[in-house]
Structure 1
Amino acid sequence: MPARHSDTILKRLLALHPKVIDLSLDRMETILEKLGHPERRLPPVIHVAGTNGKGSLLAYLRAILEASGKKVHVYTSPHLVKFAERIVLAGEIISEAKLSEMLLECERINGPDSITYFEITTAAAFKAFADNPADILLLETGLGGRLDATNMVERPLATAITPISHDHEQFLGSDLAGIAGEKAGILKAGVPAIFGPQTDIAMGVLKTRASDLNAPAYIHGDNWSCLRISDDAWEYKGGDLSGIYPFPNLNGLHQVANAATALAVLEKLEGLSVTREDIVNGLASVKWPARLQKLTQGEMVRSLPTHTEIWLDGGHNEAAGARLSESLTAWNRDNPLPLFMICGMMANKDQGAFLAHFQPLVDKAVMVNIPGEDGASPAQELCDVGIRSGLDCVAAESVEEAINHLYPYIQRQPCRLLIAGSLYLAGTILRENS
């Protein structure tokens, strides 16, 4: 694949600050002022924080709003295959020319000043969003909330917080109440706040913060709820959008809660109404790669027996492991199949907590290196963690080598192959099998 101009610019931007992550808003305030405050010229914003489910929530909101005829901007991170995926302008991934233009302008205006990669690319995204008309902007935090670069929007249309759990502990700490407090930093005075399912500790923090700000809270369990009622239907109980809906076009039992959170958000958007038909169409068309995604094309699919189901998921923390294992357990009740796993993980994740959820499910696991990622755990070190977590596993240098190791098991009978542990690994798989 030829190098993109934006990739060259992004590589330069990585060198502007010694830390990849340095939570602060001072540098954002400076660059946004130099850019003429694009954050003040954005379409109405839905700002989303949380540990798990942020991307899925935005995917549902985008699909339903687009089904209703709205033009939707979207900002997410990280990307899977190319950086441009992070910036969607009125329904289309930003063009290479536009992305390079925005990055070059931010690079020029920032000069030699210290700024992190996420900060300067978020500033570029804000400029692109401000310069292109849309009905709404779906804005995902990068990390935390209170000091996240996206938290420069003074008055969003609504805020939403998806389930909070432990992740990025080197930046947010290990105390769940403290993590929830950082996520609650996106709440704004008088702005509706929608809370997805939470632990009691996290929900207590969120409720207190909302009350302190006089932010109207729409709370899972108190004001709205959801329930799976059959293999292909679920019920939302809340306000005007209450009713029974078909299962969404995303796999996993946890997607019901993500879809329901989207409906809760939509109920609180002033001036942006949707119909039941919009919701049904959005649920049917929603896409969010590498979230229990079934691979149906590419070299890996062609190289394995047709009786092999290949599933890809970027989950990488304890809560994601729990959700994945829950869905796999349910599938096994309906259609028992041997399960094999290929896993690569970043070194800064709680690998044991993630892997422990698969101990009763996985017949054989192979731990792999993640190509091009200096922060990834070497395969053998991850394998040692897997063994301590109760998995029958070995190490391999690459996914190709892992496939070769598993092939004698896979060829015998129908089975499932799960590739998981990192969005970076998932991006590599999609890049090679798209």
Structure 2
Amino acid sequence: MKDFAASEDPAVQAQLDRLAALTLPQGRLGLDVIRDLLARVGNPQLHLPPVFHVAGTNGKGSTCAYLRAMLEAQGLTVHTATKPHLVRYNERIRVAGQLISDSMLADLLREVLDIGEDMGPSFFEVTTVATLLAFARVPADACVIEVGLGGRFDATNVMDRPAACGIATLGIDHEAFLLVPEEGVPTEPIVRIAFEKAGIARAGSPLVTQNYASHVEAEIARIAALAGAPLQMRGQAWHADVSDSGIAYRDHQGELALPLPALPGRHQGDNAALAVAMLRHQDSVTVSPEAMAEGIRAARWPARMQLLADGPLTAHAPGRDVWLDGGHNADAGLALGRHFANVDKVHVIIGMLANRYPDAILAPLQDKTASVTAVPIDGSDSHGADAYAGRAQWAPDVASALRALPDDGAPVLIAGSLYLAGKVLAANNEVPD
């Protein structure tokens, strides 16, 4: 799996082109290559400020956004590594609170690619090493690092003792990678997913999680015990009730009355609560309840139920709300269904990669859809009109789909892929910064 990127900076693009040429040797699993590559550049993972490491199927990116916002509200300087980017590769790496500069990004990628040229590293191994080098070389008070895929064999899983590890919601996703048959691992799909995500557990580092079905919780508890990681699970070590009035949080330290996030959706209250629990179950940095509340209100996470501003793209659908969400799996579809539960009708514009399932998004919205328009995702292997079996009309692009909507004032949801979301943000002049 490769995640291609483009840059307007020639020096960055030269290194991205080198990255695009890398392949992951078939059948190679494990962290040996990235550990060897890290050793060649001085083991930067050993020289980081306190790390907050977050895995999960859905919600891990939002949890990282809350962690960053809370830490910054405390006045701390924060490095962050998140995936994927929406418009520019630089979005993946914030160095001391700022998007990495083109010059620093180009230099780091060149350095790692040159040093590891004979090792056959993957895209993700090279970019993770470059990110950790940046974080080790620039002073900061904390690091927030999002797992890319799974956990056990993810390239970020190289820290010896993070300040805290977290697991957000779990669901079936990336089956081709995370459910590959392997001897000695769980065979039930959702338990296997839990096994993979819990692979980030480390001795002495609290593993802070949401609550799950009992057999899933049992697997996470098993892995945490094997790793020697103190398990702090929702419903046991901490509790959070999310209502229309706020988040009622409690744990061994006491109770907190926290605000609802500005990010829409009940699930965002759950993600914010996980970030709070991660901060309250570690002792590497101190964050006050006031800073937690400020961070919850301040956090932003582009393309996750984002209401688009007036811009060149939304001008094609004047007088109506246009929402954008990059979710692409069943859990994301359920969240969309909850978000639009109280509207009469919504027009859906959907574009999905060819390895995704349109019903994951469309089924939870079927009673609310005023229309469905399918679009391609330029530059990606995406579903054509035939994948929608007559349930959707076809448009060549999002702008055309918006222009074709009836003049009924109903809101619009553009959904199905983060790749599509990135193109929408660029077209509407809302490039993340």
Q: TM > 0.5 between the two?
A: yes
Partners of 1:234 and 1:256 within 8 A in 2: yes
Residue 3 of structure 1 deviates from its aligned partner by 4.3
Partner of 2:386: 381
For each residue in 1:251-297, what CA deviation from the matched residue of structure 2 results, as whole angstroms up to 9, or x when unmatched? 11111100111111110120312222212211221111001000013
From the superposition, tell whether residues 382 and 236 of structure 1 become closer, same or farther in structure 2 (CA, over 3 Å).
farther
Does residue 247 of structure 1 match 2:280?
no
- Show the counterpart of 2:157: 151
Question: Is 1:361 matched with 2:368?
Answer: yes
Query: Deviation at 1:129?
Result: 0.6
Alpha carbons 1:162, 1:197 under 8 Å: kept: no
Structure 2 equivalent of residue 343 of structure 1: 350
Bigger helix share: 1
SS in 1 for 2:369: coil
1:194 pairs, out of 190, 195, 208, with 208
Question: How far is 1:18 from its partner?
Answer: 5.4
Contact 2:95 2:135 in 1 (8 A): yes
- 2:397 aligned residue: 398
1:276 aligns with: 289
Q: In 2, are the aligned partners of 1:195 and 1:220 still within 8 Å (CA)?
A: yes
SS at match of 2:404: helix
Q: Indicate which of 215, 235, 239 corresponds to 1:221.
A: 235
Amino acid at match of 1:148: D
Relative distance call for 1:29 and 1:248 in structure 2 (3 A) is same
Structure 1's 213 and 24: CA in aligned 2 closer, same or farther, altered over 3 A? closer
Q: 1:204 to 1:4 in 2, by over 3 A?
A: farther
Q: Which runs of 5+ in 1 are unaligned?
A: none
| In structure 2, C-alpha distance between the alignment counterparts of 1:149 and 1:121, rounded to whole Å | 9
The residue identity in structure 1 corresponding to 2:387 is L
CA distance in 2, matches of 1:341, 1:50: 27
Q: Deviations over 1:292-311 (max 9, x none)?
A: 000013212223222x0110
AA aligned opposite 1:197: N
Q: Is the 8 A contact 2:23 2:123 kept in 1?
A: yes
What RMSD over aligned residues (CA atoms) do the two structures have, in Å?
A: 1.8
Between the aligned partners of 2:168 and 2:26, the Cα distance in structure 1 is 24
Whether the 8 Å contact between 1:164 and 1:202 is mirrored in structure 2 is no
Matched, 1:40 2:53: no
Q: Residue 63 of structure 2 corresponds to which residue in structure 1?
A: 57
CA distance in 1, matches of 2:284, 2:21: 43
Query: Aligned ranges for residues 77-156 of structure 1 at < 5 Å?
Result: 77-156=83-162
Note the C-alpha offset of 1:19: 6.1
Residues in 2 aligned to 1:2 and 1:158: alpha-carbon distance in whole angstroms: 36
TM-score by length of 1: 0.91
Determine the C-alpha separation between the residues in 2 that align with 1:394 and 1:21: 40
Distance 1:3 1:250, change over 3 A: same
Q: What does the per-residue CA deviation read over 1:171-221, in whole Å, with 9 as the maximum and x for residues that have no partner?
A: 011711111111111001221110113233322211111122332111111
The residue type paired with residue 139 of structure 1 is I
Deviates more, 1:238-247 or 1:184-193: 238-247
Secondary structure of 2:313's aligned partner: helix
**One-letter amino acid of the counterpart of residue 120, structure 2:** S
What is the CA–CA distance in structure 2 between the aligned matches of 1:119 and 1:31, rounded to whole Å?
Answer: 8
Secondary structure of the 2:208 match is strand
SS of the residue aligned with 2:159? Answer: coil
5+ unaligned residues in a row in structure 2: which ranges? 1-6, 180-187
CA contact (8 A) 1:16 1:113 kept: no
1:291 and 2:297 aligned: no
Q: Distance in 1 between matches of 2:322 and 2:167?
A: 31
Change (3 A) 1:26 1:148: same
In structure 2, C-alpha distance between the alignment counterparts of 1:227 and 1:21, rounded to whole Å = 44
